[in-house]
Structure 1
Amino acid sequence: MQEVNFIAIDFETATRRRTSICEAGICVVRDGKIAETRSWLLRPEGNYYSYWNIQIHGIRPNDTANAPEFPEIWAKIAEYLKECPVLVAHNAAFDIGCIRHSLEFYNIEKPDITYYCSLRAARKLYNFDCNKLDYLCNQFEIPYGLHHRAGDDAEMCARLFLREIRDAAKCNHENMDFCNGKL
């Protein structure tokens, strides 16, 4: 899968608000191989957390009290996007929504980025009753770490999307037009 290059991304939020990102994770894929996985804790505005969100990811206000805010971490992610302006997310409606809302909230210019959704691809390619990221990874024996931690979920998403490209008999992500959009 040469020339398959993208950045899988995942966000965890402190509340239901898309701008309350408390962790960001990326997994860089170069020439069809995992090249790097990173994650950062972020301090959401007011460092306020919903009980329910804490139950999902386990991140708490004391974990992010001294963490940088979205603009600082977005600048780091944007450096990766200069090399490869293609994102992949599992349930891109959520993750791309986090980006859009946060860019607007912090008055940051929106970059020209194409994105793909591994959830939409799974729904088209497979006939499973469940298309959650951890379930699909279990079905395909894709290794993963802690589900609902951004770096691990980004890497799970990257590995799943590589599988989806292969299963769709597509040579690269650009032919996966049934699951893409523009930021």
Structure 2
Amino acid sequence: MTDKSDINFIAIDFETATSKRASICEVGICVIRHGEIAETRSWLVRPEDNRYQYWNIKVHGIRPHDTEDAPDFRQVWEEIERTYLDEFDTFVAHNVPFDRSCLHHSAELYRIHLPELKWICSLQMARRIYSFGCNSLDYLCEQLGIEQGTHHRAGDDAEMCARLYLREINDKN
């Protein structure tokens, strides 16, 4: 059994306005301290030019009028970095390649220096320890009886990912 005091991470999720990875329109985090949910937050983000594509809106429901007065990614990232990254260096995401590339492309666009971060993928872990035919976040949560929020809203997805990863840690042991 894993010692809960050793389980500290931030589950993170990004929603994008277009097919470009640097078009983040919402960021969600779920902070896990000592194996327990300490906080879940989300920020609407004004993507560059506040431009959206139809299919992205169809997925998450966020529209240009929702983000026209929102902070840009630089402002949101500065808050995340200032508030959380002195304490945490591990991000958990469901499909790390997507979320990590959103962060890296946005950091490049806004000329942000990113700290060294460790990434853990709840999707890859699910594929290793479960034998479901589908490994989407919402499906896994449904199958495992994990509390769900609104899928494709960043704060809810970050919390669902955190809950899933905590379950995976437990099931792996």
- TM bracket, shorter-chain basis: over 0.9
Task: Name the structure 2 match of 1:43.
Answer: 46
Partner of 1:167: 171
Aligned residue type for 2:152: H
Report the Cα offset of residue 105 of structure 1.
Answer: 1.1
What is the CA distance between 1:38 and its match in structure 2? 0.2
AA paired with 1:54?
Answer: I
Question: Counterpart in 2 of 1:172?
Answer: none
- Spell out structure 1 runs of 4+ moving beyond 4 A: none
Distance 1:50 1:33 in 2: 37
The sequence identity of aligned pairs, in percent, is 61
- Which residue of 132, 135, 140 corresponds with 2:139? 135
Q: Measure how far apart 1:2 and its partner are.
A: 2.0
Instruction: Tell me, in whole angstroms, the C-alpha distance in 1 between the residues paired with 2:91 and 2:16.
Output: 19
Equivalent position to 2:67, from 64, 67, 77? 64
In the alignment, the residues of structure 1 paired with residue 148 and residue 168 of structure 2 have an alpha-carbon distance, to the nearest angstrom, of 17
Match of 1:96 among 94, 97, 100: 100
Corresponding pairs, count: 169
Write out per-residue CA displacement over residues 41-75 of structure 1, whole angstroms, 9 at most, x where no aligned residue: 00000000000000000000000000000000001
Tell me whether 74-83 or 32-41 shows the greater mean CA deviation: 74-83
- Provide the TM-score with structure 2 as the length reference: 0.96
Aligned Cα root-mean-square deviation (Å): 0.6
How many Å apart are 1:76 and its aligned residue? 1.3
Structure 1 spans left out of the alignment, 5+ residues: 170-183
Q: Deviations over 1:62-94 (max 9, x none)?
A: 000000000000011113121111100000110
Deviates more, 1:97-106 or 1:25-34: 97-106
